[in-house]
Structure formats: C-alpha cells, structure tokens
Amino acid sequence: MKICCIVGARPQFVKVAALTRKIKSSPLIIHTGQHYEENMSSVFFDEMQIPKPKYHLEIGGLPQGAMTGKMIEEIEKVFFKEKPDCVIVFGDTNSTLAGAIAASKLHIPIGHVEAGLRSYNRKMPEEINRVLTDHCSDLLFTPTQVASQTLIDEGIDPEKIHHVGDIMYDIALFYQEQIGNEKEKTDYVLATIHRAENTDDPDRLRNIFEQLVDLSKGMQVKIPLHPRTKLALKKIDLLDTCQRALHVMDPLGYLDMIRLESNAKLIITDSGGVQKEAFFFKVPCITMRTETEWIELVERGFNKLVSPYEKIDMMDVYHEMTNRRYQWDVPLYGNGTAADQIIGLLTVRDGRRR
C-alpha cells in the first residue's frame, strides 16, 4: 500500500513522526514548505528520524488563498505521477486542506488525523480547514469521543469515524523516556504565542505580551518565539522590551521543547498541541484565547481560558492554577496507540479494495 503523507507546518512534523515510526515501508512524504526555516522544519526531520520528503514544494510566505491554491495544483501533479493508494493529512493547516482537496478530486481515499475538532470560530483559518477536510475525508481518525460525536452531529457517516486517541500522545510517551527527569533548578513559566488571531491584532498582541512582561517581574518567563510573533512584536515596537524582560529563545526542536514543558510550573499558550502536552506532562495551562478545541481540558480544570483582550493579574492566575489540586490520571486522549490503530485501519481498508 502506497501511503502518501502531506505535511507543511511544525505540528504536522510532530504528528507524522508518530505515524512514520510505525509504518514498515517508508511512506511517500510531500512537504509543502509552509514552514521552511531550519528550526521550524528540518530540525524535526533530523531529530525525530522522519523519512526525507520525496517532494518539497517550497510554497510558503503567500496569502491564504494563493498558498492553498498553489498547494492544490502542485500536490495534484505529484498524485498524477505517484498514484498513491491513500493520502493522510494532519490537523488543520492550509497544507491539510490542500492535500484533502487535491486527493478528493482524484478519488484517492483520504485519512484525516485529528478529525472532528471544532473551535466554532469561523474567523480562524484553521476552523475552515478542519471543517472542509473532515467533510471530504473517507477515514476520520478522532482524538476524543467528543470529536467523534461532533462529526456524527454534522451528518458524517459513522462508519467513516474511528476514535483512535491522540497521535501526539503516542509521540509524547515515546520521547518522554528519552528526556530523562532531570529537574530544572529555577521555577519558570513557559509561554508560546503564535496564532494569527493573536499576532495579527496589535491590541491583542500588546495585551498578551504586556501581561507576560508583568508576570516576569515575579517569575522567570521562557518563550521560544515563533517567527511570525517575532515579526509582529517588532512591528508594534515591543520586541526589545520583551527581550529585556523575558527569556526569549529561537524556536526549539521537539526534545528541547518537551523538556522545557515538563519542567515548567505553568504553561501559557495559544497553541493547540502545547495545551495537550501540558496535560500529558501534568503541568497546568493557561490558554490565551476566547475558545479552545480541547474543551475537555478546560472542563476538568487542567486548562483555563484567558481572553487576550482582558487585563488580568497574571500572578494571581499563576497562583490559582499552581495551587489547584489535579487528578491527572484520566485517559482523555486514548492510550498512546493511535498510530498503530490508524495503520491497522488503513491496511484493512486497502485489503477490501483489492
């Protein structure tokens, strides 16, 4: 079975790493080039031993429509040439949507990993990507029962929906063993901010970073800075202030990142993946958004939503979150075998087609 995986952005490198570890014959990988910097892309391929992409489309840095359109065109060319038996897309980026559209037009079966998530905020480009990808996929691999139910409620045939758990949990468990459990000596908060809805709105961005700077007066704040956020901070003249007050770092490789996550007292983020990793590593989390797709974390108190418009005392929230009592041992995201289950389901489906 010729499996083609489409990736392009950082969270997809992490997810594809979990899958390719379990595929015996090397899958065909198409890298769209959405993220192209060394520390946003190749570091993950090297460190996590992801097979080299056979095709690198180098489509980055374009507006939403142009980027997605160009990706569809170029991915289709590869499909004509390679004739894959199935296509796997991950998450919710433009690469996800482009891969799904290109495959659906050629009637190539599509598997969507991390299907059924919703923020119900249609202003987010990711939300449109998720909804459309789900509705043209043939196998929908969901991380939670809630996600499966969402798809059923949207009228998707239940036979296509497979609750396999979260693939990021597989990989977090695998690498957790390798990072050891050496504790950092100083307490710190780890922050990541990169969602377009936060970086593209100067008021929101300023509010978030002024609060982080405030927090840093009482607590070290470490932040590996996404290139988009760095640029946006520069534009509003806040980068220098942040660099003086916060421990600003370049984006990190996965192992360094999860090491920092697992040793943090608190994580502040707007990332989808980092919200879950906080839970995997038993660290309370604040999400700087008005809503989240990972609602079960908020409902159970592991995560707290803080509106990026709100002026709050971050130190108060820090104390509130670090003093709470947590019941970490709930299997919210499956048992760490999502990749095995996905491959099993693909194999059975392929056997039926032949």
Residues of this chain that interact with ligand UDP (CB under 6 A) are 10-11, 14, 192, 194, 224, 251-252, 254, 257-258, 271-274, 277
Options 31, 35, 162, 194, the catalytic residue? 194
Is 247 labeled as catalytic in the residue annotation?
Answer: no
> What torsion do the CA atoms of 333, 94, 34, 48 make, to the nearest 10 degrees?
20
Q: In the bound complex, what is the minimum distance in angstroms from residue 151's beta carbon to ligand UDP?
A: 20
Cα within 13 Å of Cα(221), Cβ side: 27
Kind and range of the H or E run holding 195: none
The residue among 171, 182, 193, 307 whose CA lies nearest residue 251 is 193
In angstroms, the CA 119 to CA 127 distance is: 7
Of 47 and 210, nearer to ligand UDP (C-beta) is 47
d(CA 100, CA 82): 16
Which lies closer to ligand UDP via its Cβ, residue 79 or residue 90?
A: 90
Residue 94, C-beta contacts closer than 8 angstroms, at least 6 positions apart: 8, 32, 34, 64, 67, 68, 71, 125, 129
Residue 5 vs 108, nearer CB to ligand UDP? 5
Q: What is the DSSP letter of 27?
A: P
Tell the smallest beta-carbon distance from residue 15 to ligand UDP (Å).
8
- Which one, 138 or 270, has the nearer CB to ligand UDP? 270
Minimum CB–partner distance for residue 175 and ligand UDP (Å): 10
* Minimum distance, C-beta of residue 271 to ligand UDP, in the bound complex (Å): 3
- Our CB check for ligand UDP shows the closer of 251 and 284 to be 251
Separation of alpha carbons 345 and 349, rounded Å: 6
CB of 311 to ligand UDP, least distance (A): 24
Six-digit token pair at 245?
């007050």
- Residues marked active site are found at 194
